[in-house]
């Protein structure tokens, strides 16, 4: 990974967990989520677990298929390969990686694709089903950007072992690994994510993180870097990281803020389109 803190900056409880469970070479996504989990991982996982494995109009394999198409949109090999495997693991023949399955899946995919590109989006599906798909898309619009920015890679047999672990545990992490920090609860997981990333105390100021999330009011080189995170994370290189005049914690926070801000913009666009389509 491009930030050393994501490899070796974890709290003692996370280091012990990785050692005891034999996960010293844990996938990069696990290492990232366990680093300072109160900053964004805990509220993000509070959305992820029900979105990917909770009761839903969509089967687990269909949700993995939507996650796979999101990864392909962001040109993220780490996530595309992982979710391609998860479609196979979670499925019972209802859908394949080519999208052959229920027509409702094609309809929601077209809707989600449109929300990402700013096109007019309409869909004739139950409102609850659309909201559930928007939560799936929100999660992976964040994670794909982080995976690209931080240089996630699949090592050894992680595409098989890591995906099986995610599927077996339903994307859930032991609670003690996520403890600590600001636990403000607004009663809605998406609002909690906004608060954690853009309002709660951190190394960088809330004003700076909000600017990273929206792309307004930033000086260089942050303006160019956060724009890449939001709009073309697949283009980020090691050089883009090393030229930032900041600590790794500041880079971590600003990258997460840019990723979450962009993902929330798409999520909000989808909610507005849903409201319009319902008249």
What helix, strand, coil percent values describe the chain, rounded to 5? Answer: 65, 0, 35
Res 26: pLDDT: 87
CA angle, 36 as apex, 151 and 132 as ends, to 5°? 75
> Which pLDDT tens digit goes with each residue over 221-275?
999 999 999 999 999 999 999 999 999 999 999 999 999 999 999 999 999 999 9
Decide if 47 contacts 135 (C-beta within 8 A): yes
Please state the pTM of the whole predicted model.
Answer: 0.95
pLDDT of residue 64: 98
Q: Which residue has the tokens 């995906």?
A: 163
Count of Cβ atoms closer than 10 Å to residue 247 Cβ = 13
With 0-12 CB in 10 A as exposed, 13-18 as middle and 19+ as buried, what is 4? exposed
**Confidence band for 12, pLDDT divided at 50, 70 and 90:** very high
Q: How many residues does the chain have?
A: 279
pLDDT confidence tier of residue 22, bands split at 50, 70 and 90: low
Residue 105 has pLDDT above 70, yes or no: yes
Orientation of helix 189-198 relative to helix 248-277, angle to 10°? 150
211 pLDDT band, cuts 50/70/90, is very high
pLDDT(94) > 70 = yes
């Amino acid at each position: 990974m491009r930030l050393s803190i994501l490899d070796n900056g974890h709290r003692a409880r996370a280091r012990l967990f990785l050692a005891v469970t034999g996960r010293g070479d844990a996938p990069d996504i696990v290492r990232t989520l366990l680093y300072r989990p109160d900053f964004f991982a805990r509220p993000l996982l509070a959305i992820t677990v029900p979105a990917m494995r909770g009761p839903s109009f969509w089967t687990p394999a269909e949700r993995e298929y939507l996650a796979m198409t999101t990864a392909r949109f962001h040109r993220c090999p780490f996530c595309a390969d992982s979710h391609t495997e998860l479609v196979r693991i979670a499925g019972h023949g209802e859908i394949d990686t080519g999208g052959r399955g229920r027509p409702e899946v094609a309809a929601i995919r077209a809707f989600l694709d449109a929300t990402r590109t700013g096109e007019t989006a309409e869909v004739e599906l139950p409102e609850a089903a659309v909201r559930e798909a928007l939560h799936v898309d929100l999660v992976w619009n964040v994670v794909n950007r982080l995976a690209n920015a931080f240089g996630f890679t699949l090592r050894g047999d992680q595409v098989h072992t890591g995906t099986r672990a995610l599927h077996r545990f339903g994307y859930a992490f032991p609670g003690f690994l996520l403890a600590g920090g600001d636990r403000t609860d607004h009663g809605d997981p998406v609002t909690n994510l906004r608060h954690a990333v853009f309002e709660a105390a951190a190394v960088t100021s809330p004003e700076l993180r909000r600017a990273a999330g929206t792309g307004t009011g930033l000086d260089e080189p942050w303006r160019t870097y956060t724009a890449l995170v939001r709009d073309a994370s697949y283009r980020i290189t090691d050089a883009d990281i090393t030229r930032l005049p900041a600590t790794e914690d500041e880079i971590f926070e600003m990258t997460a803020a840019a990723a979450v801000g962009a993902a929330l913009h798409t999520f909000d666009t989808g909610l507005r389109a849903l409201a319009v389509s319902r008249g």
